[in-house]
Amino acid sequence: MKQPRTINKRLPTPIHKWNLPGLPANTEVYIKRDDLSGVQLSGNKVRKLEFLLADAVSVGADCVITIGSIQSNHCRSTAVAAKYLNLDCFLILCTSELQVEKDPGLSGNLLIERLVGAHIELASWEEFEKFGSWTLLNSLKERLVKDGRRPYIVPVGGSNSLGTWGYIEAVQEIEQQLQQGEFGEMAFDDIVTACGSSGTIVGLSLGSRLSTLKAKVHAFSVGEDPENYYAFAQGLLDEFQAGLKSRDLFQIQDSKGLGYAINTTEELEFIKEVAEATGVILDPVYSGKAAYGFWKDMEKYPTKWEGRKVLFIHTGGIFGLYDKATKQMSDMVGRWQRLKINYSIPHKDASSYW
């Protein structure tokens, strides 16, 4: 698809082997590092925003509006990417009814958003559920238009038919990386990723179907029940007029645990163990939940994955860890001690050199 390129992204993102502990026999897992896609570590959102913000510029917008949770990776990515293009950014961030009248603070993604000058407006989850995202977005758009602005709405997660092209093209990128022969004569049997608003999995599935890759896509849901994601995905497929059913394209498994952006101790311990074992940092909202769900599925159904070559898409979101650090993870990662110095070892006065 021909589309103006507008964002200073870092593509292709690398693929490397990922030695997760406890893999079934002859199972090989690789990881595609879309967490390194550029735009201040904006992850999978960069691929969607490349198309959406190009459209915003082409229609003469002077600002963008989007919506998400209080620690939304998508909202932070949109705020940063918009500034690359000299666009103002207005964010509707959803939080609890108890917090909606309070300053949201500076933890995690909020700090990045506020550093780049995003305009933050808070709404409650109750309002989101009652009115829906489009009503809230259009309400803000109407107000901005009255003020003489030219706003462009970016949907939740950047997931519409235009944004989905980002992951259709990502499959072409994966094909090219395999064709370059870095991994020998290899093909991936499966692609695994998180599912938050369905755009990524629809793009991967369509791209795989249209390419020589033909990998089976497995999505692990992080916020809604799988039934809802199948419905969201079907809406995107209908926008494409693809004549396809979402259930025929991919498998969605429930990995939300306690709920969106709410973590169990086991999930956070898994993130820590993976970091210690492999050096790969997963985020607590998307990639961490998806990888944990994938790992548990391999543990429960090892024969399902035996002998498979699997590509896990790391969707980014590292800033979300900072929101968890002081609340839930301090006991897990808090090891330290005072250095014990043996003063009997011969030494020189170090006052004049390092």
Q: Mind telling me the catalytic residues?
A: 72
Q: Residue 311: beta bridge partners?
A: 30, 191
* CA 34/CA 313 separation, integer angstroms: 7
* CA 328/CA 152 separation, integer angstroms: 37
Nearest alpha carbon to residue 174 among 343, 12, 349: 12
DSSP secondary structure letter of residue 36: G
> Taking a C-beta distance cutoff of 8 angstroms, is the pair 84, 112 a contact?
no
State the burial class of residue 342 (Cβ atoms within 10 Å of its Cβ: 0-12, 13-18, 19+): exposed
The answer for 84, left when phi > 0, alpha when psi is -120 to 50, beta otherwise, is alpha
> Taking a C-beta distance cutoff of 8 angstroms, is the pair 332, 269 a contact?
yes
* CA 314/CA 14 separation, integer angstroms: 11
Q: How far apart are the first and last CA of the chain?
A: 56
> Taking a C-beta distance cutoff of 8 angstroms, is the pair 49, 81 a contact?
yes
> Taking a C-beta distance cutoff of 8 angstroms, is the pair 207, 167 a contact?
yes
Which tokens is 284 given? Answer: 């607590």
Three-class DSSP category at 240: helix
* CA 249/CA 165 separation, integer angstroms: 16
* CA 20/CA 311 separation, integer angstroms: 12
DSSP secondary structure letter of residue 9: B
Q: How far is CA 175 from the centre of its chain?
A: 21
